[in-house]
Structure 1
């Protein structure tokens, strides 16, 4: 089935969708993005994703070509047009086509931003095999630019990290900076020790995860103890549990870090409970 995608105000078959070779998203990675999950045909944590998108655009001085109402409607239209029950919607906004390659930004008053959205069908999004088995991660030096709180399309280093993990027979990576874990390659990272959920606090060093924010709220409501502080790879290796969170993974247990088995080597009770909480509460709040 050919997907219907959205490009600059138009719904098109994916094989007819094009953007300019001079688009700054292509030439300069001058673009931001969001990924919103769809469960049972509804959007999860949409308000959080829309708010973070606006923040990313604002931080880069980039214009949003759609109003909030228009953007929500496009998401809903794509769900309907592509028959998505469980899956993802990818959104990208670039600074647009400046007419040629230049390091200088084009005038936002005369050069419109480029906006693209498309869907990905993921039938087992809520119950992937990895969630019941857990995943293995490696440590990988964090050499990304310093504004990781802005969700840009500069994803080469995360891609290199995921490829290194694959080569090592693992699933993902924990980024490490100055001896401390920042986050996963495309997710936020956590350990559990002595009943405490430990995760790095928000700063420019990590992405302000929408799933993270929702999950920590649910954890607090469930009277779980959360400690926001950095942790080391060695701490992760000796933790009772570890897990990651992200828009496409929700809560994913980690059972091995850099070759060291975490806990019993199977998904632990805290990660399991948090995944249940997120799916239950997320579904209730989905729109």
Structure 2
């Protein structure tokens, strides 16, 4: 039976209880992180913890654990759920207050910590030479102005992703003032004339851990890369489009709004990057 973690205890999911007075429930006053593990080994753990700590600082929630404690909790939860290829979801809310008030509780209350796991499906990048492509649609970016914080306030993202699902697509790629920001739950890359282009880090996008790894791999292997503003026109005329996330890794988008991207199949630059990504992951997680 699977187990989750809540406020100091491991338990069955059906036994987990959180008060309706918790500010995560009332205000979406919390942050989250998703950390993949392969072969039971946490992947890019330090980078995920960097982002978690930054999100907590930005919303002024006290970090309830040290790094060593977070790692021990993640590894314990993975072991209790049989290891393998699995993702760990961490959510930290500001905690339960005695009354509903927009202002933070004073004195501060104890944060609520919830953790669970989910199996990771085999990513497209694991088989670069036989992978199929996926569809995406474009939509206006209707989210708030601090998308760099990994907040649990995800209603706009959910609405946008549901529009993609309703259109038979895998993702909604978001546009703001004529520029690409990111996907509803991913970062975006394109390839144009052999050069890889991705929007730069800013308040308009979440600093993706997989995004950053792709940037590192491009530099390591001499793949031309530009981090700069990406226009809607460039997106529509791209030879290749990719989206990245921690659990789906690097996904080729082969149709955009129902029209083929490039040749309508995963492109050669994506295949090259995917091979580098898989080798890196396998080496770090003992999968060779």
Aligned partners of 1:126, 1:193: CA distance in 2, in Å? Answer: 21
Bigger mean CA offset, 128-137 vs 77-86: 128-137
Counterpart residue number, 1:101: 100
RMSD value, Cα: 1.8
Counterpart residue number, 2:2: 3
Give, in angstroms, the shift of residue 127 of structure 1.
6.3
Q: Secondary structure at the match of 1:90?
A: strand
Aligned partners of 1:104, 1:163: CA distance in 2, in Å? Answer: 32
Question: Is residue 95–residue 111 contact of structure 2 (8 Å, CA) maintained in 1?
Answer: yes
Counterpart residue number, 2:267: 268
Give, in angstroms, the shift of residue 162 of structure 1.
1.1
Question: Is residue 63–residue 108 contact of structure 1 (8 Å, CA) maintained in 2?
Answer: no
Counterpart residue number, 2:279: 280
Counterpart residue number, 1:255: 254
Counterpart residue number, 2:13: 14
Query: What TM-score, normalized to structure 1?
Result: 0.95
Indicate whether 1:186 and 2:175 are aligned: no
Q: Secondary structure at the match of 1:107?
A: coil
Structure 1, residues 55-100: CA drift from partner, whole Å, max 9, x if none? 0000111011111111000110011110030121100000000122
Give, in angstroms, the shift of residue 25 of structure 1.
0.7
Counterpart residue number, 1:214: 213
Give, in angstroms, the shift of residue 35 of structure 1.
0.4
Counterpart residue number, 1:168: 167
In structure 1, stretches of 5+ residues that fail to align are: none
Structure 1, residues 18-71: CA drift from partner, whole Å, max 9, x if none? 111111111101010000111111111111000100000001110111111110
Aligned partners of 1:235, 1:167: CA distance in 2, in Å? Answer: 25
May I ask how many residue pairs the two structures share in their alignment?
285
Call closer, same or farther: CA 1:165–1:55 in 2, change over 3 Å. same
Aligned partners of 2:10, 2:140: CA distance in 1, in Å? Answer: 41
Q: Secondary structure at the match of 2:131?
A: helix
Question: Is residue 45–residue 282 contact of structure 1 (8 Å, CA) maintained in 2?
Answer: no
Aligned partners of 1:128, 1:166: CA distance in 2, in Å? Answer: 24
Aligned partners of 1:104, 1:117: CA distance in 2, in Å? Answer: 26
Give, in angstroms, the shift of residue 108 of structure 1.
5.4
Counterpart residue number, 1:115: 113
Give, in angstroms, the shift of residue 107 of structure 1.
2.9
Query: What TM-score, normalized to structure 2?
Result: 0.94
Call closer, same or farther: CA 1:127–1:194 in 2, change over 3 Å. closer
Call closer, same or farther: CA 1:282–1:123 in 2, change over 3 Å. same
Q: Secondary structure at the match of 1:202?
A: coil
